Copies of this chain bind each other. A is one copy, B any other.
Amino acid sequence: MTEQGPGSSPTLRDVATEAGVSAATASRALNGSTRNVSAEKLALVLRAAEKLGYAPNLSAQATARGSTKTVALIVHDIADPYFSSIAAGAIEGAEAAGLTVTMAVTDRSPDRELEIVSTLRGHRPHAIILAGSRIGDEQDALVGELRAYEAAGGRVAVVSQPGLPYGTVTVDNRRGAEELATALVAYGYRRFAVLRGPDALRTSRDRAEGFVASLSRAGIEVAGRFVVKTDFTEDGGHAAMTGLLDRGLDGVELVFAVNDVMAIGAMRALRDAGLVPGRDLAVAGFDDISAATDVDPALTTVGVPMRAMGLRAIDLALSGRDRSEVVWLPTTVVLRTSTPRRRGEP
């Protein structure tokens, strides 16, 4: 047993010495060109490395090679199931490619995001994955930062926000919402309310507008006071629903929240008010997070393949393909018991 003093790790040199070869040979043996090293030396080096508990210093490797084995993932909020599912997919993809994932959360702050990208750039990751739609129009600084990163050979992929000049994997939010609206009308619903997120959130806008537009085409209008803006979170949904209740539902039969966590918050608000979701007021969401089937009644929603999105984003970033390719993943309307078929309808 060769003891290492504190603060020190065995280096390649140590391994080389132990094996009685040069550092160059040790390096070759331990990775890259295994072809050019004799079987005996190879064995010697491997044994030495094993004995010393050698772990290559990835930072040194990176400086020498000029490239790292990491990919950076940026999400708004990792505790949100939407993002954690995307992250799970991304991590799966990255690990399959032998890469390590570094992660940062923006807390939905554009400033923070910019700062993060800037820091991350220093890590020289293979790729940077931006998950979650950007907010506001201060994108210039962000794009500038990313441009610099790309110019230096980095790859960028974006999840869920088409419109940035990078490889993107997304779903057609507008179309998904339209299909949901159509299905709901077919179920006999005629009077709707919509809980949407901040104006600047592209995802929220697309979903809300698609929903309303589709209804409109069916000859159904949603009164302005029944479209309420709130936070893109469960508490936001709860607050908005409570407000709606206070002001009076006035015949509204179904409330559509632009994402599941908001919808679940709204359901909670209904229960808090002594109402039964699904029976007294139908509720629909968007995303199909796993909680959608945990709540009672189970939530009608539009399925978004979050995990696959994370996975594909990694693929997209890693495959040196055409920048700014857009991968559209399919959504699926999932009708559950939170939106029962209305009496008297087919």
- The A58-82 residues at the B interface (CB cut-off 8 A) are 58-63, 66, 68, 70, 77-79, 81
CB contact under 8 A between A59 and B56, given known A78-B84, A100-B102: no
Interface string of A97-137 (1 = CB under 8 A from B): 00011111100000000000011111110000000000000
Q: Does A291 contact B (CB under 8 A)?
A: yes
Q: Would you call A207 an interface residue if the criterion is a C-beta within 8 Å of the partner chain's C-beta atoms?
A: no
Do A103 and B91 touch across chains, with their CB atoms under 8 A apart?
yes
* A293 at interface by CB-CB < 8 Å: yes
Contact with B along A138-170 (1 / 0, CB 8 A): 000000110010011100000000000000000
Q: Please determine whether B77 and A91 come into contact, CB atoms closer than 8 angstroms.
A: no
Q: Please give the number of chain A residues whose Cβ is less than 8 angstroms from any Cβ of chain B in the complex.
A: 63
Residues of B within 8 A of A103 (CB): 87, 91, 101-103
Check if B100 sits within 8 Å of A123, measured CB to CB: yes
Chain B: CB-nearest residue to A7 = B153
Q: Which of B7, B101, B121, B124 contacts A152 (CB 8 A)?
A: B7
Looking across the interface, which residue of chain B has its beta carbon closest to that of A260?
A: B294
Give the distance to chain B from A307, nearest Cβ to Cβ, in Å.
7
Contact B271 A55 (CB under 8 A): no
A302 touches B (CB below 8 Å): no
Q: Is the CB of B91 within 8 A of A55?
A: no
Docked CA distance A145–B101 (Å): 21
**Binary B-proximity of A273-289 (CB < 8 A = 1, otherwise 0):** 00001000000000000
Check A179 for interface membership: any CB of B closer than 8 A: no
- Contacts A87-B78, A124-B59 given: A6-B68 contact, CB under 8 Å? no
Enumerate chain B residues within 8 angstroms of A105, measured Cβ to Cβ. 88, 91-92, 95
Question: A53 at interface (Cβ–Cβ under 8 A)?
Answer: yes
Residues of B within 8 A of A63 (CB): 57, 59-60, 63
> A100 near B78 (CB under 8 angstroms)?
no
Q: Enumerate chain B residues within 8 angstroms of A22, measured Cβ to Cβ.
A: none
A290 contacts the other chain (CB 8 A)? yes
* A91 cross-chain contacts in B, Cβ below 8 A: 78, 103-105
Bitwise, A36-67 to B at CB < 8 A (1) or not (0) is: 00000000000000000101111111110010
Which B residues are CB-close (under 8 A) to A319? none
Distance between Cα atoms of A119 and B58 in the complex (Å): 9
**Cα distance, A152 to B124, chains bound together (Å):** 25
Q: Does A231 contact B (CB under 8 A)?
A: no
A85 at the A/B interface (Cβ < 8 Å)? yes
| A307-331 interface code vs B (CB 8 A; 1 in, 0 out) | 1000000000000000000000000
The answer, yes or no, to whether A33 is at the interface (CB within 8 Å) is no
**A234 on interface, CB distance cutoff 8 Å:** yes
User: Once the chains bind, are A122 and B55 in contact (CB under 8 Å)?
Assistant: yes
What B residues does A148 contact at CB under 8 A? 4, 9, 53, 55
Q: How far is the CA of A246 from the CA of B122 in the complex (A)?
A: 58
* Additional A-B contacts beyond A58-B122, A59-B59, A102-B103 (9; CB < 8 A): A8-B152, A55-B122, A55-B148, A58-B123, A84-B87, A234-B294, A264-B294, A268-B294, A294-B294
Q: List 9 A-B contacts (CB under 8 A).
A: A8-B153, A9-B124, A59-B124, A88-B105, A91-B103, A95-B104, A101-B103, A102-B102, A294-B294
